Amino acid sequence: MSSAYRNLTVLEHAGVVNRVITKEDFGRYELAEELTEHHHHLVCSSCGLVRDLLSDVDAERLMSLAMRRATEQGFTPATHRLDIVGLCAGCSARKPAQPRTRASV
Ligand SMILES: [Zn+2]
Ligand SMILES: [Zn+2]
């Protein structure tokens, strides 16, 4: 375990940084939302890049509906996380074009 990683673990326990779970489940860290603005994430499933996506009114409306569903199940929602998983610009540029199956029908 590197010292940088160990320091981040300490910060995580102190609530300063949050762990962002990616497809590979390796820890990615960022400043807690208490210190930044509420935002969502773009997660590249190929290289693991995580970028911030500023939330918008439509997304927040949808997520507030989902949080209301949680209330119906006796859960008390505090906040939410929204990760959009896909390919970053770099990885999608490297990927060969997908065959357009729908167009061939
Ligand atoms: Zn990528
Ligand atoms: Zn949100």
Q: In terms of pLDDT, which residue wins out, 25 or 64?
A: 64
CA of 101 to the centre of ligand 1 (A): 24
Structure tokens at 18: 């949050």
Domains of the chain: 3-93 (3.30.1490.190)
The predicted model scores a pTM of 0.56
Over residues 14-39, mean pLDDT: 62
> What's the 93 CA to ligand 2 centre distance in angstroms?
28
The pLDDT value given to residue 26: 45
Does 30 have pLDDT greater than 70?
no
Task: Give pLDDT tens digits for 48-105.
Answer: 999 999 888 999 999 999 999 999 999 999 989 899 999 999 999 987 666 555 654 4
